[in-house]
Chains A and B, each alone.
Chain A
């Protein structure tokens, strides 16, 4: 029988990462969708970098940054008593950065596709920017929000390189499913590796299928 700890850890990591991403990405995407600032292309590039950068590169730099042997890492440890490498918090930070474009990009394009007159109408009706965002803009880009949430979740479930670099392979702390699979294969336990793989395969399929069903309006059509 397989060890369930990596699966629970993966689910926990993906959930925490997705929630943090949602909170971070909404203001960031709002700014990117409306800003005419000169530094916008730079920020856009940084947000999208994880799409093309090998995860090991990102993991390596995070490892260097957070390592207690470095200024920032030792400052974190001395002042806050936080050690980010080889810990769950470190995994979360790495995953947030790594999955950022998967959350920000759909929300940003959703916001940019809404006609400006919706925002203006809300302002003219006396509503603040905040109220306009939460009552008018976000409810009208629900498909984009859903896409962002699901992609960020699924992407975090599937990550390997970043996690291995900054988390290592500590059971119940940083050993997620993708690393457990690698472990089992190394130990020639193909049947365990297969069980883990199958679980990831099914979860990913179901999650993505549900996005396409909901966003494509198929469910509504059948429930009518």
Chain B
């Protein structure tokens, strides 16, 4: 259980911005912080981790006070015992994959966790390589595994997948969900990929200009509750073309390109690059076996 009430004045490119965030996260929940760049997502995460100090506020995790500016309590990042995955992975270049993980061990901690994590994120063959020789996705898996060595209860992920291609993203999302369940973590993810958010999170906080604009279930937030679709996917519009009286909208879902017929009223607010939900309501979808 995480209760946080954070206030901080941030200096951004567009002048000062007041960060004013209240979070209430249940144990074991997967939560996403969503919002445009500069909305305060990463700053919120950094304050939770103790890497950035809050002007005023309180953070309590499972009845332990991490931060209370009134009572002058402020745990260092070392004391908070969290898992944190950085956007640039922050692997130590001088150590091999295995040494990166071993570095995180606490004094006297059982080493078997290293073997376990290496197996979970499938790094056995790469364990003696240096980070520089790994691909982005492999580095990300090392960073994820390293963050879990101390067996934290809280995992913070700062846009961990933004630099990866779609296939790699999907795989890593599965790894993250796997460790989230396996280690009963409370996970907070910073992301602005709607598909990713709907796939992974139980709850989403939408941030705008340092404040929480909306919070709740991701599907209801992104679709405004207008749909009760039987099946639905999220994707990105890559083309809109007029054909006689209808429009053909080309949507990228995962790495499949799908063409959808739309009325003029539906495309009126639609532009290339927009995120959309593709759902079916009235018709039954057809299922075809394509292999075993």
Residues of A within 8 A of B (CB): 115, 117-118, 120-128, 135-136, 139-140
| Interface: B68 (CB within 8 A) | no
| Interface: B88 (CB within 8 A) | yes
27 A-B contacts (beta carbon < 8 Å): A117-B87, A118-B90, A120-B84, A120-B86, A121-B84, A121-B86, A121-B91, A122-B92, A122-B103, A123-B51, A123-B76, A123-B77, A123-B78, A124-B49, A124-B51, A124-B83, A124-B147, A125-B103, A125-B104, A125-B146, A125-B150, A126-B78, A126-B106, A127-B78, A135-B103, A136-B103, A139-B94
- Find residues 40-63 in chain B having any chain A CB closer than 8 Å to their own CB: 49, 51
Which residues does chain A contribute within 8 Å of B216, judged by CB atoms? none
Interchain residue pairs A-B with the least CB separation, the first 6: A117-B90, A121-B90, A139-B94, A123-B77, A125-B104, A124-B84
Contact B77 A140 (CB under 8 A): no
Other-chain contact of A136, B86, B88, B92, B146 (Cβ < 8 Å): B92
Contact B90 A126 (CB under 8 A): no
Contact A115 B77 (CB under 8 A): no
| Interface: B206 (CB within 8 A) | no
Number of interface residues of B (CB under 8 A): 25
- Chain B's closest residue to A119 (CB) is B90
Which residues does chain B contribute within 8 Å of A121, judged by CB atoms? 84, 86, 90-92, 146
Assembly CA distance A188 to B42 (angstroms)? 72
Residues of B within 8 A of A (CB): 49, 51, 76-78, 80-84, 86-88, 90-94, 103-104, 106, 146-147, 149-150
Give the Cβ gap from A131 to chain B, nearest Cβ, in Å.
9
Assembly CA distance A139 to B84 (angstroms)? 23
Most buried by A among B49, B81, B90, B147: B90
Which residues does chain A contribute within 8 Å of B103, judged by CB atoms? 122, 125, 127, 135-136
Give the Cβ gap from A125 to chain B, nearest Cβ, in Å.
4
Apart from A120-B51, A121-B86, list 15 A-B contacts with CB within 8 A: A115-B88, A115-B90, A120-B84, A121-B84, A121-B91, A121-B146, A122-B92, A124-B78, A124-B82, A125-B103, A125-B104, A126-B78, A126-B81, A136-B92, A140-B93
Assembly CA distance A120 to B51 (angstroms)? 7
